[in-house]
Amino acid sequence: MQRTPTQPPPNPHAAAAGAYAQNAQATTSDPREIEARALLKAVQKMIDLQKRWDTHTAEELDDTLRFNRQIWMMFVDTAMSDNSAERTDSLRSNITNLGAYIFKRTIDILADPKKEKLDILIDINREIAAGLMKKPESEAAPEK
C-alpha cells in the first residue's frame, strides 16, 4: 500500500502497541497483568545486570535499558492514542511525563553508567507493576 504525500509515515510504536494489545487479548483476559509482568521482567533484567556490574558489557547494558524503554514507549504511545473514558487527561499526562522521565534517566545511565542509577528505574517499574496487579475498583467483587 502506497502512502500519499500528505499521509504521515506509519508510527512503528503505535503499530507495536496495537499488536501487543491484540496479543494480550488473545492470550489473557487481563492485559494489566501482562503489562505488570513485562515491567517485572525488566526489573529482573536490571537487577541481574547490577549483580554482574563489574563484568557486564556495554551491549548488555544497552539491551537491558532498551527492553525497559520499549515497554515504556508502548505505555506512552497507548496513553497518547487512547482517548477512552477510563484514561482521563490527567492519567494520560502522568503516564507520558513518567515515560519522559524514564527516557531521560536511560540516556543519563548510558552516558555515565553507574549501577545505582538503575535503582530508580527498578523502583518505578515495581510500583507501577504493583498498581497494575491490583484490580480496579470497578472490577473488584462487591462487598456483602
CATH code at position 78: 1.20.120
Residue 9 has pLDDT above 90, yes or no: no
What is the pLDDT, as a whole number, of residue 71? 97
Looking at the domain assignment, is residue 139 inside a domain? Answer: no
pLDDT averaged over the chain?
84
- Please give the average per-residue pLDDT across 104-118, as a whole number: 98
Looking at the domain assignment, is residue 19 inside a domain? Answer: no
**Residue closest to 126 by CA, chosen among 62, 68, 64, 55:** 68
Residue 144 has pLDDT above 50, yes or no: no
- Structurally, the chain folds into a number of domains equal to 1
The domain of 37 spans 30-133
What is the pLDDT, as a whole number, of residue 82? 81
d(C-alpha 123, C-alpha 82), whole Å: 26
Query: Using one digit for the tens of pLDDT, what is the confidence trace for 27-69?
Result: 556 888 999 999 999 999 999 999 999 999 999 999 999 999 9
Looking at the domain assignment, is residue 43 inside a domain? Answer: yes
